[in-house]
């Protein structure tokens, strides 16, 4: 399972870093594939990777509270083998309407919504945390789809054409959205459970001392 978390200046720290930590732990705990080397020895490999990526080549981004985060690479074309199995976009600064560094600013620029639309069209599973859902909305990805975002942007998400669901995490097929900030951890744990099983998800939650909250709304039901 290869995961890319798409960062930009002004993203909310916990929106991106919370899911990253969950995925990183899970990839370390998941059943490992063994491969033999030329001498017959065996080595273990993590069943995937998680990265921070940006649209343009750069060394770091500055998050909404001033944390500087190193970047692992540039988001690849969704039609290439380098494309991730899951693309996650965090929110940040939407309601403040920061024109320089925020999800709002990125929506106005249009580059990130365009990339998200291309990934969605290519059939790549896409997830948004907090007002990252508004970047998906700007791309038209949430039109007619079940979704949620931070409480401060719920009305805007509904007005954009999404079917707003009152849930902490909403899974609508290949589209997943989470409410405010810490709900990104629940979203990541849900995906870990789906990919690697209950035991791995529970182990990660125990290690980070996080109590999972509420059921996930899945295509009209819950899980």
Which of 84, 99, 183 is CA-nearest to residue 133?
A: 183
Looking up tokens 């920061």 gives 98
Distance, in Å, from the CA atom of 131 to the CA atom of 12, rounded to the nearest integer, reads 9
CA distances for 72 relative to 10, 32, 68, 85, angstroms: 18, 23, 13, 17
Q: In Å, how far from its chain's centre is CA 11?
A: 12
Phi, psi of 222 (to 5 degrees): -145, 160
Please tell me the distance from the alpha carbon of residue 187 to that of residue 123, in angstroms, as a whole number.
Answer: 19
Residue (of 61, 58, 186) closest to 127 by Cα position:
186
Write out the catalytic residue numbers. 130
C-alpha separations of 211 from 7, 30, 186, 190 in Å = 26, 20, 9, 13
């Amino acid at each position: 399972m290869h995961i890319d978390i798409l960062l930009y200046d002004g993203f909310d720290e916990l929106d991106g870093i919370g899911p990253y930590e969950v995925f990183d732990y899970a990839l370390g705990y998941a059943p490992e594939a063994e491969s033999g080397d030329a001498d017959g020895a065996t080595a273990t490999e993590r069943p995937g990777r998680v990265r921070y990526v940006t649209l343009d080549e750069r060394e770091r981004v500055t998050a909404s509270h001033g944390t500087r985060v190193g970047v692992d690479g540039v988001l690849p074309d969704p039609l290439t083998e380098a494309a991730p199995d899951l693309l996650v976009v965090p929110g940040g600064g939407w309601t403040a309407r920061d024109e320089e560094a925020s999800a709002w600013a990125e929506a106005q620029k249009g580059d990130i919504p365009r990339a998200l639309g291309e990934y969605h069209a290519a059939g790549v599973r896409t997830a948004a945390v907090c007002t990252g859902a508004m970047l998906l909305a700007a791309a038209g990805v949430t039109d007619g789809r079940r979704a949620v975002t931070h409480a401060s942007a719920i009305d805007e998400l509904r007005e954009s054409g999404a079917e707003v669901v009152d849930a902490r995490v909403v899974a609508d097929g290949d589209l997943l959205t989470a409410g405010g900030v810490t709900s990104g951890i629940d979203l990541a744990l849900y995906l870990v459970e789906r990919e690697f099983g209950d035991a791995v998800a529970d182990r990660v939650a125990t290690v980070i001392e996080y109590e999972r909250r509420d059921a996930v709304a899945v295509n009209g039901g819950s899980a």
